[in-house]
Structure 1
Amino acid sequence: MTSMTNNVRTEERTDLGIQLAFGSTSRPVAEFRHRVRGLVEDHVSPLVSTCERDRRFPREAVAALGAAGLFHERWSGGIHGDLGRSVILSEEMGRAGLGGIGIGVGLHLEAATSLLRGFGTSAYAEEVLGRALDGESVCCVATSEQHVGSDLSAVETRLTREGDHWRVRGDKWFVSPGAAADHALVLCRGSGGPAIVLVPRTGLTPVERWATTGMRSLETVRLRVDARVTDDAVLVEPGSGLAAVGQGLMYERLALAAQVLGALDLASVLALTHLKRRKQFGTPLYRHQALRLRVADLRSRILVARRGLYATVAEISAGGRASASDAAALKVTVAQLGEKVTSECAHIFGGRGYVEGQTPLERLWRDFKVGRLGGGSDEMMWELVAAGFRPDHALYEKWIAT
């Protein structure tokens, strides 16, 4: 009974944080979280085992959540949609241990759909957006190339004019979930600079499926792009592509942070419960101070990171500046925390924590390594944070002898 009561109190505190951040009343927040949790448990969680084994991203996950109206609800409202619902949806997918499936849903909903919603003005783009929000179409964003990682300004995929059509040709690396996508938003280079073009499945060919260490159900591929499209498929004109991608990446990074934090709740609660149930030398592991304080440290870091996420999205939702620097800071900090927490929690389970199928921790540990690369490497995130630095010369001269 005590454990159940503690779990309820933990969720009440989490929902209170959402309420304070987004100005929502407790009932709608709690109801939405409960609804999301039920939908994920009923329709998505049962897919994880098979999709991890087969290295397949399940379109049915997008279909189930979209058909339930969650995607429309996330993007209701102003320019940023409802960031509160984005956080809850992402947290619950993380807490359910969805791994690559959850990240793939997030890439569809946050990265691709935000670009369609923000820049899609043609009837064609609006139709694709509607199908994406309904869960009838899976979308992805294709940016990286063999020799292009973080420096997206160097993309070599070409956009050229051919009569009354455009031709898009090139190879994109590390596209997730590339093989399952009905449409890809392709970053390419036109005569005036980087552009974004909406390419249908007929112009996309998976040529290599990457055998990734983690996120196996994300279905990351090398994608060959060769398509002829009309003017209404050019989502962002040449020269403005990088700025547009940056906007999509901001939403992706915030959602990634929320999903990792949800998964860290799962990992740390499992570790804490194991300490109280497992006995060594006739006493529960929790009675050993070194282990007890280790978990206390992890839970403290998770709490502080979550409050930072809530404060950031609350400021954005209230009309504050949507800062790429803030989103990058959250993403890199939480990604590194995810790698540390899952490693420590797996360690607490001893040998069982290192064996596949005994706990979810070894998979979470493998999965979260990519969090420090996907959506931008640690170094790129720190560069974005550094770009936001502003010196205070008056303060310097007050305290430092010159």
Structure 2
Amino acid sequence: MRLSDEQAFIQQEVHRFAEEEIEPAAVEYERNGTFPRDIIERAAELDLLAPRFDEEHGGAGMDLVTELLVNEELHRADPGIAETVTSVTFGCESIVEHGTDEQIEEYVQPAIRGEKISGVAMTEPEAGSDFGNIQTTAEKDGGEYVLNGDKVFISNGSVADVLVVYARTSSPDSAHRGITAFLVDTDTPGLKATQMEGHLGPATTDIAQVFLNDVQVSEENRLGAEGEGFYQAMEFLDEGRLNVAASAIGAARGALELLIEYVSERQQFKESISEKQAVRHRVADLRARVTAARSFVYETAREFEAADEFDTEQTAMAKLIATTLLEDVASEAVQLHGGYGCFDEYRVETYFRFSKIPQIYEGTNEVLREVIADATFE
């Protein structure tokens, strides 16, 4: 894949950072379930927490392709640590687009510097893919809103300093028009976040349930206009899906590299496993699929940059193809490691556990199939 000199340089620098800072610590962090604050700080020094944010807001000002390269290289090294590093500024895109200068200064710039962590409280026990059906309420009381409700599966929920909370401010005939976004400091009285333990994915990520009990939020902390929250959230869905696709490609590359290294060194019956045709062909198929999927993801990104408009069907395809591929690659990596593939020392089991996660967030793969089917049969 052709890259500009600048893109190639950034990719090499991120690859080096990942090799030196992430890979050596990955097993220990995963075993201990350590939230990688020290790696976040070092990533901030390299402007990796907000690659695509404008420089005026403290970001690196990278284009979309370069942002995807950063995402891919981090996930190649370790999907768990990468998920945490890339989610430190989760929600800040909406603040930059719809927030005031004061909100950007208070929340976005510290997050980009690695001094604060943001998150998005969207999903609820009865409203996952059906975001328009959220039940959390925000009732106006003078110059404040009073928020009540429960949120689940919230990334950074128990470690975030601020959450972009979506709540229902009205119940018009069109449910989407009744949702508003709020910036809620997590130390606000009435907000309680409890880490959700025992989840399938990497142990370095923070997933929490957030309870809102008469949480008072000033009108100044409303994000944008009342009733616009649903549309604000949808604005970033296509770009988010493309980033998930790049993450999946990176993780697939990481699992495949570990697989190739193992079968090249492992001896069976006085012969390298890599000499066996059945193994060689399985690895060859995986390499071909990774290369093809990677090309499609980056071609989609380049088409957006040329037209300044996302093709929703194509971004849905990119995420569907890449995340399905990741599960296949990670599964084969575990299988061809034999018994060793089930132990964290060989690391492929981490990629396998992660492989289901990106198939669920930013629109489940079932939802994406409907998006593609709608475009097919319209």
- TM-score higher than 0.5 here? yes
CA distance 1:291–1:210, shift in 2 (3 Å): same
* One-letter amino acid of the counterpart of residue 148, structure 2: R
Q: Corresponding residue for 1:368?
A: 355
Residue deviations 1:9-63 (CA, integer Å, cap 9, x gap): xxxxxxxx252xxxx3x2x222212222333344444553444234343333333
* One-letter amino acid of the counterpart of residue 355, structure 2: F
* One-letter amino acid of the counterpart of residue 93, structure 1: L
Q: Which piece of structure 1 moves more, 34-43 or 141-150?
A: 34-43
Alpha-carbon shift at residue 94 of structure 1 (Å): 1.1
1:304 aligns with 2:292: yes
CA distance 1:149–1:356, shift in 2 (3 Å): same
Report the Cα distance in structure 2 between the residues aligned to 1:66 and 1:108, rounded to whole angstroms: 10
Report the Cα distance in structure 1 between the residues aligned to 2:116 and 2:370, rounded to whole angstroms: 35
1:161 aligns with 2:148: no
Alpha-carbon shift at residue 257 of structure 1 (Å): 1.4
* One-letter amino acid of the counterpart of residue 96, structure 2: R
Q: Corresponding residue for 1:91?
A: 72
Report the Cα distance in structure 2 between the residues aligned to 1:163 and 1:368, rounded to whole angstroms: 47
Report the Cα distance in structure 1 between the residues aligned to 2:274 and 2:27, rounded to whole angstroms: 31
SS in 2 for 1:60: helix
CA distance 1:67–1:77, shift in 2 (3 Å): closer
Report the Cα distance in structure 2 between the residues aligned to 1:302 and 1:344, rounded to whole angstroms: 13
Of the candidates 105, 112, 118, which is equivalent to residue 85 of structure 2? 105
CA distance 1:320–1:242, shift in 2 (3 Å): same
Report the Cα distance in structure 2 between the residues aligned to 1:269 and 1:46, rounded to whole angstroms: 16
CA distance 1:274–1:216, shift in 2 (3 Å): same
Alignment of 1:191-270 (within 5 A): 191=170, 193-203=178-188, 204-226=191-213, 227-270=215-258
Report the Cα distance in structure 1 between the residues aligned to 2:139 and 2:202, rounded to whole angstroms: 35
Report the Cα distance in structure 2 between the residues aligned to 1:211 and 1:236, rounded to whole angstroms: 36
Alignment of 1:126-141 (within 5 A): 126-141=105-120
Report the Cα distance in structure 2 between the residues aligned to 1:371 and 1:220, rounded to whole angstroms: 14
Structure with the higher helix share, 1 or 2: 1
SS in 1 for 2:187: helix
Alignment of 1:58-73 (within 5 A): 58-71=36-49, 73=51
Give the conservation status (yes or no) of the 8 Å contact 2:167–2:181. Answer: yes
Report the Cα distance in structure 2 between the residues aligned to 1:353 and 1:149, rounded to whole angstroms: 33
* One-letter amino acid of the counterpart of residue 180, structure 2: A
Give the conservation status (yes or no) of the 8 Å contact 2:258–2:348. Answer: no
Give the conservation status (yes or no) of the 8 Å contact 1:125–1:235. Answer: no
CA distance 1:51–1:272, shift in 2 (3 Å): closer
Aligned residues: CA RMSD: 2.2
The number of residue pairs the alignment matches comes to: 365
Alpha-carbon shift at residue 351 of structure 1 (Å): 0.9
Q: Structure 1: any 5+ residue segments left out of the alignment? A: 1-16, 392-402
Q: Which piece of structure 1 moves more, 361-370 or 124-133?
A: 124-133
Q: Which piece of structure 1 moves more, 227-236 or 186-195?
A: 227-236
Q: Corresponding residue for 2:278?
A: 290
Give the conservation status (yes or no) of the 8 Å contact 2:36–2:84. Answer: no
Q: Corresponding residue for 2:267?
A: 279
CA distance 1:60–1:183, shift in 2 (3 Å): farther
Q: Structure 2: any 5+ residue segments left out of the alignment? A: 171-176
Give the conservation status (yes or no) of the 8 Å contact 2:195–2:206. Answer: no
